[in-house]
Amino acid sequence: MDKSLYILRLTIGIIIVWGCGWGLNLMNLGKCIAQSSLHTVPSDLELMSDTGRISWGERATITLRLGLELGGNSSGWPIWEDTIPGGLEILSTSKIDTILPQNDDPDQWDMIVEQSWVVTAWDSGYVVIPEIEVMGEKSAPVMIQVVPTRTGEAPEMMPAAEIIKIEWTFWDRVEKAAPYLLKILAVLLLALGLIYLLKKIKRKERKEIEMVVPDIPPHITALKKLRELEERKSWAKGEAKSFHVQLSEIVRTYIDARFSISSLESTTREAAGQIDLLDISQSDKSNLISALRLGDKIKFAKHTARIDDHIKVINTCIEFVENTMVNPES
């Protein structure tokens, strides 16, 4: 008995709640109709919809128009971002535009300020956009009915399609395989390039013999070459000119390395000027310059010198190097 009473009370409660819901909907509908009837007097502000009924997700365009005389303004124009009053979702918003009145607009309007919103809804029922007020002008409310989206008839089951056999030509297969073939070719070329590079490096390492070139002082090289030149005694073999050419080159190479000058490509007169500026004894300067000038006479003036003159010149150059060389202990 207690269980039956509980079920009865629950049923009565559900009926009461359902009835209250319908009552609220009817009250909203009545309020909208009442507000619409109150605004039957023409207003300079118009709120309108291009349709009174949409399905879920279907679009409707809401337009707000304000008629103005010259010098009028639209201060207080509504700014709606995501939704408009009433709960419709805004999909896009047009810019506020000023246009000329149409033929069916009131004569007192000199211009019209207009803006539109594309909206939609996802819940069934009646959506009421309340009155909008701009510059003391009020629009009539707008009501839109939202109904569930109706689906079409169930699709008819179709039999399975036959398997289509595609005949590939040789070139079709090549075209399909081309990207993969190019990638394989690129990998092979890269591998061959790396192999070639590694072999070249190894071959170079085999041929490359590390040679430590000692830093030989210039006087050691000069003295060695001067003594070798002295031992050959070229002047006694009729090669006096060749002897003095080699002697001049050995001595100039030495003083260029020892004193950081450049006399090898200079004339004897220019070299003598550089030697005069060296920080050495005057006798060493004079003896070396005299030896170089004797060489010029033999090379260019076909001067014939005595054997003693050649011996004296080679000894002078050896003595010059020994007197001016850098002492390793210093």
Is a pLDDT exceeding 60 seen at residue 82? yes
Please write the tens of the pLDDT for every residue from 68-81: 988 888 888 999 99
If pLDDT is split at 50, 70 and 90, which confidence band does 147 have? very high
pLDDT in tens, 174-211: 888 889 989 999 999 999 999 999 988 888 777 665 55
pLDDT at residue number 73? 85
CATH class of the domain comprising 41-147: mainly beta
Taking residues 88-113, report their average pLDDT: 91
Binned at pLDDT 50, 70 and 90, residue 152 comes out as low
User: d(Cα 111, Cα 208) in Å, to the nearest integer?
Assistant: 94
Position 154 confidence tier, pLDDT thresholds 50, 70, 90? low
Is the pLDDT higher at 317 or at 235?
A: 317
Angle 282-300/307-324 helices, nearest 10 degrees? Answer: 140
User: Distance between the two ends of the chain, CA-based, in angstroms?
Assistant: 130
Measured distance CA(130)–CA(61) in Å, rounded: 16
**pLDDT tens-place string over residues 280-308:** 999 998 999 998 998 888 888 777 888 88
Mean pLDDT of all residues belonging to the chain: 82
Top CATH class of 218-324 equals: mainly alpha
Kindly tell me if the per-residue pLDDT of 33 is higher than 50.
no
- How much is the average pLDDT of 309-322? 91
| Confidence at 163, pLDDT banded by 50, 70, 90 | confident
CB 263 within 8 A of CB 253: no
- In this prediction, residue 23 has a pLDDT band, given cuts at 50, 70 and 90, of very low
Strands (E), the chain: 45-49, 53-55, 60-68, 89-93, 97-99, 111-120, 125-129, 133-134, 137-138, 142-147
36 — pLDDT class (breaks 50, 70, 90): very low
Q: 218-232 and 240-259 helices cross at what angle (nearest 10)? A: 170
Q: Which of 75-84, 139-148, 198-207, 249-258 has the lowest mean pLDDT?
A: 198-207
Q: Is the pLDDT of residue 41 over 70?
A: no
Return all residues near 321 (Cβ < 8 A) that are at least 6 apart. 219, 222, 223, 226, 251, 254
What percentage of the chain carries pLDDT values higher than 70?
82
Per-domain residue ranges of the chain: 41-147, 218-324
Chain centre to alpha carbon of residue 192: 32
Residues 6+ apart with CB under 8 A from 328: 217
What's the rounded mean pLDDT across residues 88-104? Answer: 92
Q: Taking every pair of C-alpha atoms in the chain, what is the biggest distance, in angstroms?
A: 159
